[in-house]
């Protein structure tokens, strides 16, 4: 599946001994009715997906008790139906994960074929052990999803595509980059714009974004002192002076990198500075600090509800479901 020039990444596990059974199974599954199950973290997005996809909403009774425990009751009949749970795993991360697991287990137990739409996939930045003794948290999450009966996972702009390899069930990442680029095309008249990735890890992302808008791109070279945490950027003043700049990333969490990048870009003579991301975590006072650093507007998607979540990812997720 392709979404503009920024391709969808996927990880699929196939067993040679089950080819015929799989073919028969898919034929059977294709006749099943789809239902969209809204998780507590993504109710509005789930409704949008159902509307775009033309599926019914699964009726779920849910609440959180005063002590923090979650309660669920499935109201609708789900036997022999395909159910897509929509549950993003932004903070409180572990609560949202446990809610997803509870729902998936009950739906599978009741006879549904369970798919998990996890717009923001928590722990994706912990896709491997960087130091000896570290837990590969995403691998544990992937194992738990399979253990409760999830048959397929789809997320949006996973932090590192290597993480998809930790899943022993089909796992996919669709991209919101074309939607973010379209927003700028429709809402801003840019002056000799440059798209910038704040680090090398976003090189592919910023290349796709820049190609859509037909503008130049830069990947900032930065060095982070592992002791002090201080970030130093290589000078690109000649490439940004008197130009509009769009900082492009997958996640804005603490906002520290964006804040420092914006301050440097202002110092180098950039005209206007915008920031865009798929997942606007914006922890604590991140948004205020980013704006104070000189960023004119921050644009994110609704994988995470926030004041800057202006882009709806429901159409690309509904489009993905239509291929199954």
Nearest to 230 by CA among 265, 253, 251, 260: 260
Out of 3.30.413.10, 3.40.50.2020, 1.10.468.10, 3.20.20.70, the CATH code matching 177-302 is 3.40.50.2020
**DSSP category for residue 165:** G
SS3 214: coil
pLDDT-based confidence at residue 10 (cuts at 50, 70, 90): low
- State how far Cα 233 lies from the chain centre: 27
Show me where the domains of the chain are located. 2-175+312-321, 177-302
Nearest to 97 by CA among 130, 53, 143, 33: 143
Digit-coded pLDDT (tens) for 249-258 = 999 999 998 9
pLDDT at 291 over 90: yes
pLDDT of 8 reads 52
Task: Burial-class residue 272 by CB neighbours within 10 Å (0-12, 13-18, 19+).
Answer: middle
- Which pTM was predicted? 0.88
Q: What is the mean pLDDT of the chain?
A: 90
| pLDDT more than 70, % of the chain | 89
pLDDT of 199 reads 85
Task: Burial-class residue 147 by CB neighbours within 10 Å (0-12, 13-18, 19+).
Answer: exposed
Nearest to 324 by CA among 90, 89, 10, 6: 10
Digit-coded pLDDT (tens) for 163-218 = 999 999 999 999 999 999 999 999 999 888 999 998 888 999 999 999 999 999 99
pLDDT of 24 reads 41
Q: Are 2-175+312-321 and 177-302 equal in CATH topology?
A: yes
Digit-coded pLDDT (tens) for 263-283 = 999 999 999 999 999 999 999
Digit-coded pLDDT (tens) for 224-249 = 666 776 777 888 999 999 999 999 99
pLDDT of 94 reads 97
**Which comes out higher in pLDDT, residue 18 or 256?**
256
Q: Kindly provide the residue ranges of all beta strands, DSSP E only, lying in 65-125, ordered along the sequence.
A: 70-74, 82-86, 113-118
Question: Across residues 131-137, what is the average pLDDT?
Answer: 93
Nearest to 126 by CA among 116, 115, 136, 112: 136
- State how far Cα 239 lies from the chain centre: 30
Burial 14-48 (b: 16+ CB within 10 A, else e): eeeeeeeeeeeeeeeeeeeebbbbbbbbbbebbeb
Question: Across residues 131-151, what is the average pLDDT?
Answer: 96
* Domain 2-175+312-321 bears CATH identifier 3.40.50.2020: yes
Task: Write out the catalytic residue numbers.
Answer: 222
């Amino acid at each position: 599946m392709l979404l503009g020039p920024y391709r969808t990444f996927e990880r699929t596990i196939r067993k040679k001994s089950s080819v015929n059974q799989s073919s028969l199974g898919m034929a059977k599954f294709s006749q099943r009715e789809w239902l969209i199950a809204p998780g507590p973290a993504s109710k509005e997005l789930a409704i949008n997906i159902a509307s775009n996809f033309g599926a019914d909403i699964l009726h779920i009774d849910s609440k959180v008790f005063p002590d923090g425990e979650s309660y669920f009751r499935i109201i609708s009949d789900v036997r022999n139906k395909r159910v897509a749970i929509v549950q993003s795993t932004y903070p409180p991360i572990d609560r949202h994960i446990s809610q997803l697991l509870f729902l998936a287990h009950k739906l599978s137990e009741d006879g549904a074929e369970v798919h998990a739409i996890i717009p923001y996939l928590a722990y994706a930045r912990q896709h491997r052990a960087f130091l000896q003794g570290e837990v590969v948290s995403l691998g544990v999450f992937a194992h738990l999803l399979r253990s409760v009966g999830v048959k397929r996972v789809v997320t949006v702009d996973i932090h590192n595509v290597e993480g998809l390899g930790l899943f022993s069930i089909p796992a996919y990442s669709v991209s919101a980059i074309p939607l973010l680029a379209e927003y700028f095309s429709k809402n801003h008249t840019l002056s000799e714009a440059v798209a910038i990735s704040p680090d090398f890890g976003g090189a592919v992302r910023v290349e796709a974004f820049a190609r859509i808008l037909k503008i130049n791109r830069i990947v900032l070279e930065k060095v982070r002192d592992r002791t002090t945490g201080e970030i130093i950027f290589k000078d690109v003043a000649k490439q940004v002076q008197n130009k509009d700049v769009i900082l492009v990333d997958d996640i804005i969490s603490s906002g520290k990198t964006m804040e420092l990048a914006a301050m440097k870009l202002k110092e180098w003579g950039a005209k206007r500075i915008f920031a865009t991301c798929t997942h606007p975590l914006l922890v604590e006072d991140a948004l205020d600090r980013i704006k104070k650093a000189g960023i004119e507007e921050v644009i994110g998607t609704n994988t995470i509800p926030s004041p800057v979540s202006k882009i709806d990812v429901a159409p690309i997720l509904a489009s993905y479901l239509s291929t199954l």
